[in-house]
Amino acid sequence: MSRSAGAPTIYLAGPEVFFPNALEIGDQKKKICTSYGFDAHFPLDRLPDVGRDPLDAAKQIFSICLEMMDDSDLVVANMTPFRGVSMDVGTAIELGYMYAQGKPVFGYTNDVQDYAARVTTAGVMVSDQQVEDFGLSDNLMCEGVVRWPRNSPPKGSDGGVIRTEVLDDERFVSLDGFEAAVQQARDYLDNAPSSPR
């Protein structure tokens, strides 16, 4: 764990930061985390200084997110396809960042289709390009960080991305998959060795 005392902290990654009700979603997710014995960092918990030019604001947001991830013990990510057939690209970077630190990575998606099926259905593939078809929910490198933990921990996050079937209008509203991922994280930590990372 990144801290010596207190509840473990989850970094809440996902495209919700782009929604008009982002703060409400963040609050709902943090309440779920609390009910499972976690603290949580939502990227909009700290905002950049107002009045900055766009590039300065972007740099500050980038730094804030890195600090929050560094201060977190694990990540739970919304990997629901966003603006295309795959997960939000910023969230994918955050998963890789946490994985590289050896921190547990958990993910969920509100789309039950395999990645290959979405690519084929969307008609975005070019005839001479391969589409990876491993039965995964997203690109191999995106799901790989969830499926195959870096530090060979006990069974817990080795189950892949949680897929939840929801109605189209609940695609970015339903938190059932999120709660299942938080439960998976709780089970993982409860079965992990007690020694600090």
Q: What is the pLDDT of residues 28-66, one digit of tens each?
A: 999 999 999 999 999 999 987 767 788 888 999 999 999
Report residue 183 CA to chain centroid gap: 14
List Cβ neighbours of 125 (8 Å cut-off, separation of 6 or more).
Answer: 119, 131
pTM over 0.95: no
Residue type, 57: A
**Domain boundaries, given as residue ranges, for the chain:** 9-191
Tell me what pLDDT residue 69 has: 98
List Cβ neighbours of 124 (8 Å cut-off, separation of 6 or more).
Answer: 84, 85
Residues of the chain with pLDDT under 50: 1-4, 154-157, 195-197
How far from 154 is each of 4, 53, 178, CA to CA, in Å? 21, 46, 21
C-alpha 122/C-alpha 36 separation (Å) is: 38
Residue type, 11: Y
Question: Do the Cβ atoms of 13 and 108 come closer than 8 Å?
Answer: no
**Angle of helix 89-100 versus helix 140-147 axis, rounded to 10:** 40
Question: Do the Cβ atoms of 177 and 109 come closer than 8 Å?
Answer: yes
Handedness of CA 84, 87, 92, 94 (dihedral sign): positive
Question: Do the Cβ atoms of 74 and 104 come closer than 8 Å?
Answer: yes
Domain 9-191 fold? Rossmann fold (3.40.50)
Burial of 23 (0-12, 13-18, 19+ CB in 10 A): middle
Tell me what pLDDT residue 57 has: 87
Tell me what pLDDT residue 63 has: 95
